[in-house]
A and B are shown apart, each in its own frame.
Chain A
Amino acid sequence: MAKLVYDKTGRLIFTKEMKKDYTILFPMMAKTHFNIIKNVFVHYGYKTVLLETDGPEIAQVGLKYVHNDTCYPAILVIGQMIHALQSGKYDVNKTALMITQTGGGCRASNYIHLLRKALVKAGFENVPVVSLNMSGLEKNSGFKITIPMLRRMAAGGLYGDLLMSLDNQVKPYEIHKGDSAALIDKWTDKLTEVLASGHGFTRKEIAMYLDSIAEDYSKIPIRKTPKVKVGIVGEIYVKYASLGNNNLEQFLYDQDCEINMPGILGFAMFKVDNRLEDYKLYGGSRAKYIVVKKLMNYLEELESMIISSQVKYGFHPITPYAHTKSLVKGIVGYGSKMGEGWLLTGEMLELAESGFPNIVCTQPFGCLPNHINGKGMIRQIKRVNNKANIVAIDYDPGAPRVNQENRIKLMLAVAKENLRDELENKEEKAETKTAKKVSVKAVKK
């Protein structure tokens, strides 16, 4: 074990010594993104391991060490980490944990504190916890996110968004099963190499690699058949993590659906934009506003690069953040920023508008911001877009999967009926058209 160093408040520090031989465990969320980002950490000398364990015992461990009424993601993430420490797979004297910390009025900003409480309870008080945050919340001498590292991570996230989006569009229609998955693997390896070699994170290179990815995907042979199109939105962890949502993506795929999951970039832009909105609503430092505005512009630029690559190779492009934002005007205020805030409402509107009216809104049981922006806004969303067919699903350690799937199936039954009607309408129109043509021809004769 390395020497244990504490800061003034008594927090265990991740030291430089630890960086040398400690393994850092990090819970998996969005697979495509996290695999690439993890490799950035590895490249910078942090022995990072993404925890991909699953099974009911994880929730049980979580329930044992975390207040049972806390949100489900905290129970799972903390359960997963303690489960790993207890598994014997890692030398607990040489293991650290890493967890994201967002800050903000939601309970999620407390995960790291709940994790530390749980570690003490489980007898792992010597395991340091590293906060992964962009707000300078907690500092560690042995862990520092440098600007070059940040740029690589951002690029990794961006590639992840594109890969995920393309995979969702191609996988349901691919002729050779597994083509799309193979491309994700190929690009994860390739991008890891590229980022490690000091490339792939300037604007120019990003644009180039985004193009190559989209080009690669466009070459996968597909057969387009009419499928039910389902959007997935929700609290960020249960939305992306298969551990959190009982493998929702796979379930929908097995039900013969095409999925659309708005990307992580949008969420990042939302969090940055909140600072601008706070300034507008309540006042504050003009200088800070200008700096944040610049960052926002940069993110917008990255977003437009993804869109242009998708359009270039004939894919359904992601919806620009600015457009999503414009959709919620008059429905919910931009000040509603805790958790996923108004973005959640916006994403549902955006999905319904862009051909994905069937939506699964995922949330941990009793998620506070979701009362407002998820369930609370469904009525308004339906008013704006009467095609919207939304099912809100609660995830929690006691909620049986069968009930969740039954509810989703109800949404799908309605979706299938709508799809059938749509196709019939099209056929009818096509028939009347051909009939007209025939009659015209007949007249000509």
Chain B
Amino acid sequence: MIKIGLDIGSTTVKCVALDENNNILYKTYERHYSQITNKISELLQKIRKEVPNADDALIAMSGSAGMGVADACGIDFIQEVYATRVAANTFIPKTDVVIELGGEDAKILFLSGGMEVRMNGSCAGGTGAFIDQMATLLNVPIEELNDLAEKHEKIYTIASRCGVFAKTDIQPLLNQGAKKTDVAASIFMAVVNQTIAGLAQGREITGNIVYLGGPLTFIPQLRAGFDKALKTTGICPENSLYYVALGSALCAEKKADLDNTIAKIEVYKGTGNFAFNKPLFQNQQELDAFRKRHASATVKRGELKNHSGNVFVGIDAGSTTVKGVVIDEKGTLLYSEYMSNSGNPVPIVKNFLTHIYEANPNIKITGSAVTGYGEEIIKNAFGIDYGIVETIAHLTAAKKFMPDVEFIIDIGGQDIKCFKIRGGVIDNIFLNEACSSGCGSFLQTFANALGYSAEEFSKLGLLARQPVDLGSRCTVFMNSSVKQAQKDGATIEDISAGLCLSVVKNALYKVIRVSSPRELGSKIVVQGGTFLNDAVLRAFEQEMGTNVIRPEISGLMGAYGAALYAKSLSDQKSTSTILTTQQLSVFQHEIKSVNCGGCSNNCRLTINTFSDGRKFIAGNRCERPVTKKSPDESMNIYQYKLKLLKGYQPQEGKRGKIGIPMGLNLFELLPFWHTFLTKLGFEVVTSPLSTRKLYLHGQQTIPSDTVCFPAKLMHGHIQWLLDNGITNIFYPCMSYNFDEKLGDNHYNCPVVAYYPEVIHANVSEIEKVQFFHEFVGIHRPKDFPKKIYIELQKYYGDITLKEVKEASKAAYSEYNTYLEKIRAYGENIVEKARSEGKEIIVLAGRPYHVDPEINHGIDKLITSFDVAIISEDIVSHHEKKKKTGVLNQWTYHSRMYAAAEYVSGYDDMNLVQLVSFGCGVDAITTDEVRAILERNGKIYTQIKIDEITNLGAVKIRLRSLLAATKQGKGQ
């Protein structure tokens, strides 16, 4: 009897028919463009025609998108991982491990030695879809991505968490001129790391490895990446695309009359039950009125061709597009271009400038300015006069349309920027965090995936009757929500409108965290390319319940603002330093990438060389590679703390070596434990400061892929100690931290408190050493010696209570000395900054944010703006416990509330909060710190940090903060 297996994936349908001996009679693999039921019935009809005796075959269905259809049509549903397993056992009996990547899923199946199946968590997003997205970003087809990767020389670090993260890594690389070949290979490596880190969870991937699924079948370089990482050669079997379909065919037990089944599938329309919002427009009239209203926000236009006066050039080198404008002295728009940025903005800007010179060879460019991600390289490449931070550019442009504007929201290809304006000055800035960026480009990618252009797609939604409610979460989740809605019978129109609504909701509720239009004021200007989309604009007005202004040049506002800015600064008689026609005609640009090696950050530098021999270095965090001098670190408490910690060196002792992993709370407690253990006669060895390599070394044992990055790093540190032959490791559990009397309680967060337990449970090698991970209470100095003595006895029977008591005394004393030292140094920084008239930034985070791999050199970046840095623990002790709007119960976080109160008392101090991605506690602290600062008229700035190394967004925030402070003071 014939067995038919169907695999309905997120993007494709696979179908096989087998005979009694499991020979494949028929197979097909097709994209379904979300027209799932049509595709299935089409395939089944084909099988009926082409395969003899298929009329009453056994049939079963599998795949993430097949569940609802299968149920409704009375076909047995086989879970897809299970199906893979059945197929692998049948066709490749000696398989040990299967690695399967699909459109959106990543799976590892351990078949031998205790069967286990792992699927990616709901956060890790798609892998096939991710590669698709990246290919779109690089503007190449997938096959070419593979060819590019083959020729790579270097691998860049790209965050391996989810597509959106990786995008924020890749974009700056491209903007800085990294080679596409290297980027392509780095993308594949990111997928490899993501799969291994996310799914192996401590289990080794060895033996006979089989690669399955679309991406691994079609992309040899991806397979090569896995081979390299796993130090093995896996096989990609014949029919590697069909394993799920084969498995479901093998599992098929139910006989089905094919005609009947086809009939059932054809009438299947889903449940029709999906959550939806009200339509964007009730009817065509409403839509017409809306269009008419928005057509009035225009800018005066003129001709560049015969213009004889002074002109100003503005360029916005954004993440996915490059915009350029030319204006005259009255702000009349003479010329503009909106160009897609396929990775490298330099040739695009060159073309733009060439076009200007062609249009008007006698042009008098008096001033020019550039903004956006590509600001630095464009400024250097073309001799642009000014570089300005995006926020200021947009504000300048918006004021031209609405002088008393109160709120500006800009949704671009990859980022959302919003700022509140009070008294003409930027008062508060909201930028999207790495996790929800990519909203505008997401619409585009989605439209393409469904077979539409972005423009067509967004128009579909305008008159949709039931816009799907897709929520306001990260774009990866939306992918699955869309599929669900489709299954439930939502039309393409409903989905289009729903996606536009989601973009708006993301901006409002995730980025700005607004709950009513009242908070934003009544004078709102919206801009950015995404708002050119009427559906998004309408969704915004609808969601906010207020009408807004969308300038006709909505997509050009950054460039227009830059031009206006150049105009405001340029002396009328001066000439711009911008390249002339002649210079432009011989312009050449070469890119080389090298590793800096000047310090532990090991920045990957991109060296751009221009035709006249000028050089521009990108990717650096500090000035060292440019000036060849070490940066001045005297005004940076983070560097001072590192220096102090370095002082705790091993001292030989009678009890031998004991290792302390340098992560999480042990950063601050090193003085305490180092002294304690040294006094007890141990030689205390610490793991080195974190590096990427150290992290990757431990990533196989991370059990939860959504835990914060600092916790993940701990695995690398433990691994380092193990690799270095340390046989005693000290990493105690601590529910409580020191009580600094600043809060209602003095807990550690659950992750900090109990991470030693995770290490114990998941790092298998730890069983071979003495791993002290008992619970200790340093918050009770009186009880501490007695209690820890009992725990120590379990490991080191010869230690006496007397020894412990003495060691404890010394430890507490050393900890206090350490605090005094950093506080004294901090006070010095403040004094010196004040005498030199420098701004002071309190870079508030946790003690472990001192680790350069965690803070990505943000401290150095800040000092490069010529400001002084102290940390929250330098000032918190000046404050007394105050009432907070939340339960103030974690020691580290209490310090931040206190620091926010303290900062509020000084004009020359601002607080910047470092937040680890995935830190649940910070969902509470960020709102509270913001509330304290805003209550006191201060600007709140938050920087989310993760594995990402992109400092572009960080720069925008800090420059905006400093610019706003300066503007505020000027008033």
Contacts and interface: CB of A to CB of B under 8 A. Distances in A.
Nearest to B883: A9
Interface residues of B, number: 84
Given A365-B123, A368-B921, 17 more contacts: A67-B926, A107-B920, A107-B924, A109-B889, A110-B887, A281-B776, A336-B735, A366-B918, A371-B750, A372-B758, A376-B704, A376-B762, A394-B706, A403-B480, A406-B80, A407-B119, A409-B67
Contacts of A336: 733, 735, 753-754, 757
B703 interface: yes
Interface string A389-423: 00010101111111111110110111001000000
B735 A337 contact: yes
A199 interface: no
Interface stretch (A13-21, A55-63, A187-195): A55-63
Contacts of A378: 703
Nearest to A116: B885
Contacts of A105: 735, 745, 747-750, 753, 889-890
A103 to B, nearest CB: 8
B438 to A, nearest CB: 15
Interface in B250-282: 275
A281 B704 contact: no
6 tightest A-B CB contacts, nearest first? A398-B473, A283-B783, A335-B775, A282-B777, A105-B747, A69-B923
Contacts of A412: 79
Contact of A398 (B474, B487, B886): B474
A109 B749 CA distance: 12
Nearest to A277: B775
Interface string A33-71: 000000000000000000000011101100111011111
Most buried by B among A107, A371, A396: A371
Interface in B915-944: 918, 920-924, 926-927
A379 B762 CA distance: 7
B711 interface: yes
B703 A106 contact: no
Contacts of A121: 515-516
Contact of A63 (B80, B122, B509, B754): B509
A414 B123 CA distance: 24
B618 to A, nearest CB: 32
Interface string A58-102: 011001110111110000000000000000000000000000000
Contact of A368 (B64, B735, B750): B750
Given A338-B753, A403-B122, A67 B924 contact: yes
Interface string A355-380: 00000000001111111110111111
Interface in B447-474: 469, 471-474
Nearest to A394: B122
A113 interface: yes
Interface secondary structure of A, over-half rule:
helix
A400 B783 CA distance: 49
Contacts of B885: 113, 116-117
A333 interface: yes
A386 interface: yes
Interface string A108-124: 01100110110001100
A18 B339 CA distance: 64
Given A60-B471, A109-B887, A372-B758, A67 B787 contact: no
B529 to A, nearest CB: 25
20 contacts: A56-B471, A68-B923, A69-B920, A105-B745, A105-B747, A105-B748, A105-B753, A109-B889, A117-B927, A121-B516, A283-B783, A335-B735, A335-B775, A368-B751, A386-B114, A398-B472, A401-B484, A402-B64, A402-B68, A409-B67
Contact of B887 (A113, A333, A334): A113
B373 interface: no
Contacts of A266: none
Nearest to B791: A281
A125 B79 CA distance: 49
B510 A68 contact: yes
Most buried by A among B79, B116, B201: B79
A338 B750 contact: yes
B483 A335 contact: no
A400 B703 contact: no
Contacts of A55: 275
A342 to B, nearest CB: 9
B428 interface: no
A367 to B, nearest CB: 7
A242 to B, nearest CB: 17
A332 interface: yes
Interface in A98-155: 104-107, 109-110, 113-114, 116-117, 121-122
B706 A63 contact: no
Given A332-B761, A336-B733, A398-B471, A282 B779 contact: yes
A331 interface: yes
Contacts of B82: 410, 413-414, 417
Interface of A: 9-10, 55-57, 59-60, 63-65, 67-71, 104-107, 109-110, 113-114, 116-117, 121-122, 278, 281-284, 331-339, 365-373, 375-380, 382, 386, 392, 394, 396-407, 409-410, 412-414, 417
B777 A400 contact: no
B515 A375 contact: no
B914 to A, nearest CB: 15
B704 A375 contact: yes
B117 A65 contact: no
Contacts of B754: 336, 338, 369, 372-373
Interface in B63-78: 64, 67-68, 77-78
B688 interface: no
A173 to B, nearest CB: 24
B922 A57 contact: no
A337 B78 CA distance: 40
Nearest to B779: A282
A70 B114 contact: no
A69 B777 CA distance: 30
B887 A281 contact: no
A199 B9 CA distance: 59
Contacts of B469: 56, 60
Interface string B779-801: 11011001100000000000000
B701 to A, nearest CB: 9
A352 to B, nearest CB: 14
A402 B483 CA distance: 9
Interface in B473-516: 473-474, 477-478, 480-481, 483-484, 487, 509-510, 513, 515-516
B202 interface: yes
Given A56-B469, A114-B886, A70 B924 contact: yes
